[in-house]
Amino acid sequence: MANSSKKSDINIPSFETGMLAYARSIQVTEGLFFATRNDAGDLKTPVEVHEKGVRGQSSEDKAKNPGNSNPQSVEYAVLPQGHDGLELSFSIRFMPLSLRPHACGSTQVGDTHARFASAYRSAGGYPILARLYVWNLANGRFAWRNRFQSDDMTVAIEFDGRHITFNPMKLSLETPSTESDLAAALVGGSPDDLVQLVSGIATGLSNNNKKAFSIRVRWNAVMEPGQEIFPSQEYIRDEKKDKQLSRVYAKLVAYNRDRRIFQASMHSQKIGAAIRHIDIWHGSETHRGAIAVNPYGGVQETSEVLRLPKTKMSFYDIRAKATELLDDIESVEKAICISPSAHFMMANLVRGGVFGSSSKKAESNG
């Protein structure tokens, strides 16, 4: 009887094993900042990161010299004189890497993940994720703090010979846009272009022939010369800290009129975090709007964690119910009926990462 019981356990689906990793399905390039001129067409000037000394005041809690001068050196970036606009540009590849694990310690678990992805695709789940990703491109969330530096901006997306342009100010940062909302925000291109963009992203994420779907994105905003620009801020490890600089910005080597400069940039990770602000299924009554997809629903801006294990809504709690999750997704006939748990799980697999179980769980699952 013991052997019979053990044999039957093999047929019970599981998403858990000691080694499990998914490659990132949305690959973003580093974003580059350029200064533009309305009267100069395509002429662009790289935005340069400079250094300056400032004299602040000690204002932190329990400061050693409260209220006293606090001289420091910081890096900064501004729109150069003679320019009236700012551009942030980057490219994205959407790849079908969520269809099965990149690395897996169990053939059975790998097949279970592939089964889930296949059912999710058949149910029409990928187009729902694709529309949410388009929402975060069209609303300009990826510009982060820079988005609030202007009231006049556009987001242009190029793909497969098509061009589509949105007015981000017509779209919410909290409430996901419907296809009608996105179409109403168009200032260039057609509703059919919008349909093709969503379809292209969904296909890129889910096609079996491993063909990626690529787009180019440009965020343009009207600004005043000298207005401050906010690239990504670097996190510097203690052993690499320059004691002379209290703020270091992300930058890449570039050339402006044969002069070597440091061009302001936005980390690909930060752009990616904006695009994956699609967790609208977290269920929190205290936090409004979507948050970035991650296993525990962490919100960096507020230090909230919306999917703690005690909520039973973390990625790991959801995937522990493999049989229930598979039964639900394989019985779905319309995309509108896909459960929030299935969307959240797939969004994490698209995000990618290492999702291996603890050693005890791995042992109990064979």
The CB density around residue 237, as the number of other CB atoms within 10 Å, is 6
- Token pair 């009608």 in the structure block, residue: 180
Q: Are 271 and 142 in contact (CB under 8 A)?
A: yes
pLDDT at 2: 45
pTM metric for this prediction: 0.91
Give the 3-state secondary structure of the chain.
CHHHHHHHHCCCCCCCCCCEEECCCEEECCEEEEEECCCCCCCEEECECEEEEEEEECCCCCCCCCCCEEEEEEEECECCCCCCEEEEEEEEEECCCCCCCCEECCHHHHHHHHHHHHHHHHCCHHHHHHHHHHHHHHCCHHHHHHHHHCCCEEEEEEECCEEEEECHHHCCCCCCCCHHHHHHCEEECCHHHHHHHHHHHHHHHHCCCCCCEEEEEEEEEECCCCCECCCCECCCCHHHCCCCEEECECEEEEEECCEEEEEEEECHHHHHHHHCCCECCCCCCCCCCCECCCCCCEECCCCEECCCHHHCCCHHHHHCCHHHHHHHHHCCCCHHHCCHHHHHHHHHHHHCEECCCCHHHHHHCC
List beta partners, residue 259. 256
pLDDT at 210: 86
Residue segments in the chain with a per-residue pLDDT below the cut of 70: 1-10, 55-56, 58-59, 63, 67-68, 70-71, 237-243, 359-366
Nearest C-alpha neighbor of 112 from the set 359, 329, 354: 329
Q: Are 314 and 297 in contact (CB under 8 A)?
A: yes
pLDDT at 1: 42
pLDDT at 42: 80
Handedness of CA 334, 183, 220, 163 (dihedral sign): positive
List beta partners, residue 263. 48, 252
The 10s digit of each residue's pLDDT in 173-220 is 999 999 999 999 999 999 999 999 999 999 999 999 889 999 999 999
pLDDT at 143: 98
The 10s digit of each residue's pLDDT in 295-307 is 999 998 889 999 9
